[in-house]
């Protein structure tokens, strides 16, 4: 996507209101309806959004009765490529507008703002009704075939993102792809063990031609054990290799892609990062590490226009809870600290995730958002 900003000068004697009326009635529709213009923004207000693939129409008629010269204002024209932009400005359509005094190319100052595939932060993406729009974003989700991952894949795809789903488990990943294909949702899938640093780097290489713009570090595991247990070392290493090192490995491997896109990262922490209970310290401390990676990278990557946030879910109904999920006494004990008195469905994380990845959260970074039914408030 390429954005060109035009600065126009108002004719002496013309009022602002006349300018706006004039622009809206004459230039706006003309430019917005040009086949090559994806989006047209005037003074920060989206006037029109079009996605068209036909060729320029040289016979596009000018409106009758136009008699004014140029006016002042700031206009953004969005194109899918430099070629498309040049095509518009060289088209008979533009020449006709120029000849008729509607578009003074010679007096327009233009800046090509960015030719990289940047995340679309135009006001169109913060459209009417504050709808979350992830169109144009290519989001890599790890642990995508698990309970929360599947909900995120589905929800972020519904918000317009193109999804690259990665998971350790090839079977559940294929099942997810097939299930979504049946619902006409097309996702790209890759088997990935986030604890395997070389595999993360290799996947980044595989995706280099179609780079990601956002990353959701969701893969995580848990296992209850006590410090005294025989397998304490093994448990510690395994949990940290996925939950903490895994987040680092994937982020590091995809950093350049995310920086190039001025994109964002969303990590999956947990209420366990702050709440202590026995037999779970590897998990708790690994999630505390995720929280602190989030905060540290938010500071480190802000100069690159990359935002980094995290979710801290409470009790979510997924296979993650293992045998605990069916232990009513255990569930009851855990729910006693949840003001809302229930567990969440994985879908209840989608809104927060989509928001944090979207342009609506353009000034949000370093935040860890609790999705916990009030647990952290107690």
Buried b (16+ CB within 10 A) or exposed e, 71-82: bebebbbbbeee
* Site track for ligand NAD across 20-59, x = CB under 6 A: ----------------------------------------
The contacts of residue 151 (CB under 8 Å, 6+ apart) are 345, 346, 347, 349, 350
* Residue 189 is a binding residue for ligand NAD (CB under 6 A): no
Q: Does 338 bind ligand NAD (CB under 6 A)?
A: no
Place of tokens 């995508």: 144
- Kindly state whether residue 146 participates in binding ligand NAD, applying the rule CB under 6 A: yes
Q: Which of 36, 137, 195, 309 binds ligand NAD (CB under 6 A)?
A: 195
Backbone angles phi, psi at 213, to 5 degrees: -110, -15
Q: Draw the binding track, 227-256, toward ligand NAD (x: CB under 6 A; -: no contact).
A: ---------------x---x----------
Number of residues that bind ligand NAD (CB under 6 A): 30
Q: Does 323 bind ligand NAD (CB under 6 A)?
A: no
State which of residues 110, 172, 174, 367 lies at the interface with ligand NAD (CB under 6 A): 172
Stretch that binds ligand NAD, among 5-13, 24-32, 163-171, 294-302 (CB under 6 A): 163-171
Q: Is 141 in the site for ligand NAD (CB under 6 A)?
A: no
Residue number, 121 or 197, with CB nearest to ligand NAD: 197
- Is 46 or 144 the residue whose CB approaches ligand NAD more closely? 144
Q: Could you tell me which stretch among 88-96, 145-153, 302-310, 355-363 binds ligand NAD (CB under 6 A)?
A: 145-153
66 among known catalytic residues: no
Site membership for ligand NAD, residue 280 (CB under 6 A): no
For ligand NAD, which stretch binds (CB under 6 A), given 100-108, 155-163, 313-321, 351-359?
313-321
Q: How many residues in the chain?
A: 378
- Toward ligand NAD, which CB reaches closer, 32 or 268? 268
Measured between alpha carbons, how far is 100 from 27 in angstroms, rounded to an integer?
12
Instruction: Select the residue interacting with ligand NAD from 218, 284, 358, 365 (CB under 6 A).
Output: 218
Q: Binding residue for ligand NAD (CB under 6 A) from 18, 126, 169, 362?
A: 169
User: Nearest distance from residue 192's CB to ligand NAD, in Å?
Assistant: 6
**Residues facing residue 214 across a β-bridge:** 139, 264
Asked if residues 312 and 291 have their Cβ atoms less than 8 Å apart, the reply is yes
C-beta closer to ligand NAD: residue 148 or 159: 148
Question: Can you give the binding site for ligand NAD, defined by CB under 6 A?
Answer: 142-143, 145-149, 167-169, 172, 192-195, 218-221, 242, 246, 268, 270, 313, 315-316, 318-321
**Residues annotated as catalytic (active site), given as ranges:** 283
């Amino acid at each position: 996507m390429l954005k060109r900003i035009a600065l126009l000068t108002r004719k002496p004697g013309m009022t602002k209101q006349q300018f706006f009326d004039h622009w809206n009635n004459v230039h706006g529709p003309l430019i917005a309806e040009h086949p090559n213009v994806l989006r047209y923004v005037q003074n920060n207000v989206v006037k029109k959004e079009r996605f068209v693939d036909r060729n320029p129409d040289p016979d596009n008629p000018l409106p009758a009765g136009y008699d004014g010269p140029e006016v002042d204002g700031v206009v953004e024209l969005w194109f899918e490529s430099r070629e498309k932009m040049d095509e518009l400005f060289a088209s008979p359509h533009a020449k006709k507008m120029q000849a008729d005094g509607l578009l003074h190319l010679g007096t327009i100052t233009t800046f090509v703002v960015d030719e990289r595939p940047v995340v679309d932060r135009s006001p169109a993406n913060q459209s009417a009704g504050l709808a979350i729009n992830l169109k144009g974003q290519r989001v890599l989700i790890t642990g995508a075939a698990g309970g929360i991952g599947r909900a995120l894949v589905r929800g972020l795809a519904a918000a317009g993102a193109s999804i690259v789903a990665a998971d350790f488990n090839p079977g559940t990943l294929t099942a997810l792809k097939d299930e979504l294909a049946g619902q006409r949702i097309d996702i790209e899938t890759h088997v990935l063990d986030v604890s395997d640093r070389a595999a993360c780097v290799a996947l980044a290489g595989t995706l280099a031609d179609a780079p990601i713009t956002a990353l959701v570090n969701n893969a995580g595991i848990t296992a209850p054990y006590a410090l005294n247990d025989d397998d304490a070392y093994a448990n510690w290493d395994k949990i940290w290799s996925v939950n903490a090192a895994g987040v680092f490995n994937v982020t590091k491997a995809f950093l350049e892609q995310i920086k190039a896109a001025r994109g964002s990262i969303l990590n999956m922490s947990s209420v366990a990062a702050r709440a202590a209970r026995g037999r779970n310290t590897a998990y708790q401390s690994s999630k505390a590490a995720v929280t602190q990676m989030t905060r540290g990278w938010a500071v480190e990557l802000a100069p690159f226009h990359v935002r980094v946030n995290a979710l801290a879910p409470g009790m979510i109904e997924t296979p993650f809870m293992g045998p605990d999920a069916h232990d009513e006494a255990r569930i009851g004990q855990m729910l006693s600290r949840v003001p809302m008195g229930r567990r969440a469905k994985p879908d209840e994380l989608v809104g927060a995730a989509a928001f944090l990845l979207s342009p609506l959260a353009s000034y949000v970074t370093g935040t860890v958002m609790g999705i916990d039914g009030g647990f952290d408030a107690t």
